[in-house]
Structure 1
């Protein structure tokens, strides 16, 4: 039962929480610019984490460890979230953004081999390839469908690729340098670094205007509690438990889950090609995450 909890329930919960971040962004962005929305989200989350750190008597890392965590924060939260939010604001559907950044496992696996000298088995490479094929099929249908993949600027695609690069490098960097710190302390330092990154963007690129509608308030509440605290703490914990390439493979499940949510909430239709691609991606994840035990 304990093994089932760690091998299935926790990863499934993380995938669902992470996928809702794209939905929350779509709901909130009509009322605030990307970096402005993200800066407010980070500041609110830091206040909550500060209270949690005080209650738990969190142990803080030294300056060297804090520096590594800050770099991870800029990559995993700053570059990734900033790229995703600007892509969605530019007109790219939330499902398509999730599909592009869903290529992260392949990028992370290659980076883990080159940088961490991790061993990736042939079975895992097959799984990564299947995941890539599955994401490509869903993406193909999105671009080939009626309007789901159209209407966004080339800058949106560049922002999505910027997000993909950030989350891939950040996952590898976190595995190498940032896994020894207390989870709450490490997350706080990462968010503080990301907040600094967003603040620079807010005061150089944006007007800082916010319309505090009920929709924005509800979106912000979920992004803070469900994603910034729940999903990120789970991600940091999962990175501690497994190789970077295995943890990254979970992101292959995010596109089909996000596509389902987009269908339910925004009436984005799922065709046969997209459903087939989602199933192929799930098989790929299973091959990467579940390793054969040595005889």
Structure 2
């Protein structure tokens, strides 16, 4: 179906707006406090949807544990680590570069953990995607290595590992789970792991300004409900390496958004990187992993 073929594009477009939302709310709230409110609102939204349609809930302690762990990895540690690292001085370009290693690591782990083969064509696509994303990020990478603190760097590396393992875990354990109720449980897990850290490290600041409310509503309903539902569907239907390669389209789309909304420059090198990233993702997503 044509609509199903467009779902990866919809996912990338929606997911990329997360960086715009984060920029909108950054001056008016603390990162983990904002994420905690986002998770709680998302849980409420998914529960309301599940009740309205009569969706089945996970059955048994193991199913709940699997969903909770996926949420801790995909949401709690991944988003929390990135937000915390950037808030504590890690340049956004460096954070994006580290997270950009995720598709490579996912491809490496796909066979030993899932039995998915990654052939030469897919490896070529992933390599091109990473190279293209690197070119897009190049203007933001001009930093002195000595200025990068160890703590934030460790946090973003943990985030990259978390989304990699979370994607694989979701593929292994969420194949038959209802996406709506499974997502509700996942965001409960994310809230559980975020709450104590937010209480210990932050003051709970959340200014009552329109930027926070718009950012919270969009992050919860557009990103956490919309984009995460699409991500879970794509993981279920395709190879994890192909799905992970989609994240290489995020830096180009974010760069375009930043150009249109914030007047940031968009040079020839970045445009070339965009084209390379698009070509790489197209190659990586063309065939099932088993066919290479």
State the TM-score, normalized to the length of structure 2.
Answer: 0.91
3-state SS in 1 of match to 2:204: coil
RMSD of Structure 2 on Structure 1 (CA): 2.2
3-state SS in 2 of match to 1:270: coil
In 2, Cα distance between the equivalents of 1:27 and 1:154?
27
Distance 1:215 1:171, change over 3 A: same
Task: Name whichever of 34-43 and 98-107 sits farther off.
Answer: 98-107
Measured after TM superposition, the shift of residue 154 of structure 1 is 5.0
User: 2:206·2:212 contact (CA, 8 Å) conserved in 1?
Assistant: no
Match of 2:242 in 1: 246
Q: Deviations over 1:116-173 (max 9, x none)?
A: 12111111011111112112222333224xx8x9987554433332221111111011
1:276 to 272, 275, 278: 272
3-state SS in 2 of match to 1:290: coil
Match of 2:170 in 1: 174
- Moved beyond 4 Å, runs of 4+: 91-96, 149-154
Match of 2:121 in 1: 123
User: 2:133·2:249 contact (CA, 8 Å) conserved in 1?
Assistant: no
3-state SS in 1 of match to 2:141: helix
Q: Does 1:38 align with 2:49?
A: no
Measured after TM superposition, the shift of residue 30 of structure 1 is 1.8
Match of 1:71 in 2: 69
User: Structure 1, unaligned stretches of length 5 or more?
Assistant: none
2:24 to 24, 27, 40: 27
Distance 1:95 1:13, change over 3 A: farther
Match of 2:189 in 1: 193
State the TM-score, normalized to the length of structure 1.
Answer: 0.91
Report how many residues are paired. Answer: 288
